[in-house]
Amino acid sequence: MAYLRVLLLVFIAQKLAAQITPNTLSQDPVFRTVLAARLVYPFDALYKEIYARVYAGFEVDEKGHLFNISILNHMSRGTRYGFEPNTIAALKKLPPLNPHYQGRYILPIAFIYVDSRHLDNPYIPKDSISMGGLANYILLDEIKVIGGNVDRKERLRAVERTKAQ
C-alpha cells in the first residue's frame, strides 16, 4: 500500500512539474528576462534617432547551448548603428537554456525610438522578413527594446498608448 502511495505522489509531482515548465521558448521567463536585460539600445542609434527591427536566427543544442547565432535580415544601418552587433552579443551571453527547447529559432527584436516631440507616436520599425527557406525555424514572440530622448517611464507609457489604440 505504501508503494502505491509513493508511486501516486511521484506521478502527481511529475504532472505538476510538467505544467510549471513553459511549453515554448517565448514563454520562458528566464530567457525573456535575461535577454531583455542584456539587449541595449545602441548609443549611436539613439544619437541619430534611428530605429529598426532585427531578426536573429539561432539554434539550441541538446545541452541547451545557443549556437549558429546570426542576423537573418542584414541591413547597412543595422551594422553601422550597432543593432546587429548588440543583438549577437546579447544572445551569446545567455546562460544555457532548458534542453527541451532544442531546435532552430527566429527572434524578432524591435528597437523602438520615442521622441519627446512626438510622445503619442513612437517610431516603431516596420521591417519584416520573408519566411521562405526558414520553414524549419520556430518564430518566437518579439522582444521590444525602447530607447529615446525621454526618461524610461515616459518611453514605456508612449509604447503602451500605441498598444491601446
pTM value is 0.75
One digit per residue, the tens of pLDDT, for the chain of length 165 reads: 665 554 545 455 555 444 455 578 989 988 988 998 999 999 888 888 888 999 999 999 999 999 999 999 887 766 788 899 999 999 999 999 999 999 999 999 999 888 777 666 777 787 777 777 778 899 999 999 988 776 666 666 666 765 555
Which backbone phi and psi does 68 adopt, to 5 degrees?
A: 50, 45
For the four alpha carbons of 125, 49, 76 and 71, in that order, the dihedral sign comes to negative
Point out which residues pair with 138 in neighbouring strands: 105
> What is the C-alpha separation between 33 and 107, in angstroms, rounded?
14
- Give domain limits for the chain: 23-164
Q: How far apart are CA 44 and CA 52, in angstroms?
A: 13
